[in-house]
Amino acid sequence: MTLTPFRKMNGLGNDFAVFDARRAELPFDRALVRAISDREHGIGCDQLIRMEPSDEADVFMRIWNCAGDEVEACGNATRCIGHLMLSETGKDEVSVRTGAGTLLCRRGAREGDISVDMGVPRFGWQEIPLAEEFSDTRKIELQVGPITAPILHSPSVVNVGNPHCIFWVEDIEAYDLARLGPMLENHPMFPERANISLGQLTERNQIRLKVWERSAGLTRACGTAACAAAVAAMRLHMTERQVTIHLPGGPLDIAWRERDGHILMTGPYQLDYEGEIDLAELAAAERAAQ
């Protein structure tokens, strides 16, 4: 029996199983990721994170969601990995390479906070990407329900390492996102599927957000969705260039820097516990169950 160490971490309740593969190979396939993510028989997590060596950054962060799909970016996980690398290296700033590019992490002003430079958002219809051309992605022609009385309509779309679609509503609790989310995630408008959010402006610089994450479902927090909603609101002149996004798991502070267009996301991380797991035994049990 060979036990593999892991860390269980979370950012605002969005939780991760983190494995370090910088010194030894640690292969994962779709079935094993699903088995590890299973909350009854595995570790249980929203995403699985594998830390890998990188020639371009302090670490490469590979991300799978609980369905076994590899994804490009995860803001909450970046804060967790940022904390691990800041503690390990003793640096003031560390770089975390992801499928969406290299992100820079620093300690936040508040104890327990990490600030991440999430880079520059992309607004072009081909960059998001969309199936149809739109010259203005602040609001696109997409609606749910009857043409004359749609339930939801005119969302903002943006790519912050992954595609996001935000519907602006008066009350995020008035809609069943668990029912609408899967349909909208897989809408033909989104060839790579999309994360679907409901956003509600409560004060000039305060936004409530509920998120359906592609392949993962309703989530307590999504860092890239918070960034996407913030810059979408700013483009619509709903807010100033610094806002607090209130997710079910807690708040994130988002600033969109004017001088270079970079998004800065600041919020907490948490190390829940450290443990060991027999991956071979878990993989065998998963094969037997299929």
Kindly write down the DSSP assignment for every residue of 53-114, as one continuous string.
--SSSSEEEEEEETTS-EES--HHHHHHHHHHHHHHH--SEEEEEETTEEEEEEE-SSTTEE
The CA distance from 15 to 64, in Å, is: 12
Cis peptide before 188 (omega within 30 of 0): no
**Residue 105 annotated as catalytic:** no
Pairing mode, strands 195-203 and 163-168 = parallel
Non-local CB neighbours of 290 within 8 Å, separated by 6+ positions? 31
The CA distance from 119 to 247, in Å, is: 21
Pairing mode, strands 4-11 and 156-159 = unpaired
The CA distance from 78 to 150, in Å, is: 37
Positive/negative CA dihedral, 188, 216, 52, 112: positive
Select which of 80, 105, 222, 227 is catalytic. Answer: 222
Helix (H) or strand (E) holding 287: helix 279-289
Contact 199, 166 (CB under 8 A): yes
**Residue 66 annotated as catalytic:** no
Select which of 45, 74, 80, 165 is catalytic. Answer: 74
User: Could you give the residue numbers annotated as active site?
Assistant: 74, 222
